[in-house]
Amino acid sequence: MSSRTPRGDLPGRMLRLLSLLQSRREWSGRELADRLGVTERTLRRDVRRLRELDYPVVGSTGTAGGYRLESGTALPPLLLDDDEAVAVALALATAVPGIEERCAQALAKLTRILPARLRPQLAPTADTVAAVPHRFGAGTDPDVLATLAACCRDAELVTFAYRGRSGSAGLRRVEPHHLVTLRGNWYLIAWEDARADWRTFRLDRVSDPRGTRHRFARRPLPAPDPATFLDRSFARARYRYTARMRVAAPADAVRTRAYTPVLGHVVATGPDRCEVTLSADSLELVVQYVVGVAALGVDCDLDAEPEVRDRLRTLAGRLTALGRNRPD
């Protein structure tokens, strides 16, 4: 039996071709040939060789034609650069609960083949990191996540079916900008021409995303970073339940001292006072946010719907009873 591996059968130029195909959704033949310093005829020969080694390289003709690497029926060797290999190893070390054994097996395989020069980067952290168990949002489809991530990377217009909070569904066509995860849910930040505005989409409400193979020029995000944009988006939104709190503390103190991030709009109303608006479709969630702000131990007033006040009174009674309980 031959000991040669598929990667061992690849000359250096073909390895570079494979790396380029993995780095972007699609390349024109002219671009690839120029990057490799070869003719397009030689490029076509190298592509045929990759296909013989089970790499699903798809080619198309016409003005929008080019080459792209698609998913196949088998998993061929994957090329990772140094930083990517270390990042994957660290991600495997902090496995999501439920797949720890599989991640441990994959980490063992990866660690065994890591070049010696990379092991010092991984050694100080691999044994000192851990994942905090967390309930991930139900219904987040890995295929949806992967498709949208590729379209974000390639600045490719994408279409998908979307079910809003009201339950109504419709087809959306957007410029995907970034994917953000928060409290176990994934969100897509995108520009939507039909509404001429930035939008946020929850991925468990997205289905059948498809790249259109039309590129777009990236717009600057109206926020310092995607996480800040998402936070501001939540603050502006209005949901089923809303509570407003006038708090005798500086706005920055409320933002930084709260045990969990305050998903609300915090506005300074004076040097030592602020107003917090909390809103969510879940009554329990709004109550938790109110309690979190009240737990800062500062004076505050509340303006909220009767349902929120009733739930807070019930909770106050239970907490009072707990405070009176004494062990036998």
pLDDT digits (tens, 9 = 90+) for 169-193: 899 999 999 988 876 678 999 999 9
Residue 7 has pLDDT above 50, yes or no: no
Q: How far is CA 194 from the centre of its chain?
A: 24
pLDDT digits (tens, 9 = 90+) for 224-251: 888 888 877 876 777 788 899 999 999 8
Same domain, 87 and 155: no
Give the model's pLDDT for residue 125: 53
Q: Which residue has the higher pLDDT, 102 or 194?
A: 194
Same domain, 245 and 303: yes
Helices 12-23 & 40-52, crossing angle to 10 degrees? Answer: 80
- Looking at every residue in the chain, the average pLDDT score rounds to 80
Give the model's pLDDT for residue 2: 40
Confidence category of residue 199, pLDDT binned at 50, 70, 90: very high
Rounded CA separation 154/69 (Å): 13
- Provide the CATH number for the domain around residue 56: 1.10.10.10
In contact, 137 and 123? CB cutoff 8 Å: no
Domain boundary among 200, 233, 266: 233
Residue 3 lies in a domain: no
* Percentage with pLDDT > 70 across the chain: 80
Residue 5 lies in a domain: no
Confidence category of residue 122, pLDDT binned at 50, 70, 90: low
In contact, 95 and 38? CB cutoff 8 Å: no
Q: Determine the 3-state secondary structure of 242 from DSSP.
A: strand
Same domain, 146 and 229: yes
Same domain, 249 and 228: no
CB neighbour list of residue 164: distance below 8 Å, 6 or more residues apart:
170, 205
- Provide the CATH number for the domain around residue 227: 2.30.30
**For the chain, what is the domain count?**
4
Range of the domain at 225: 142-233
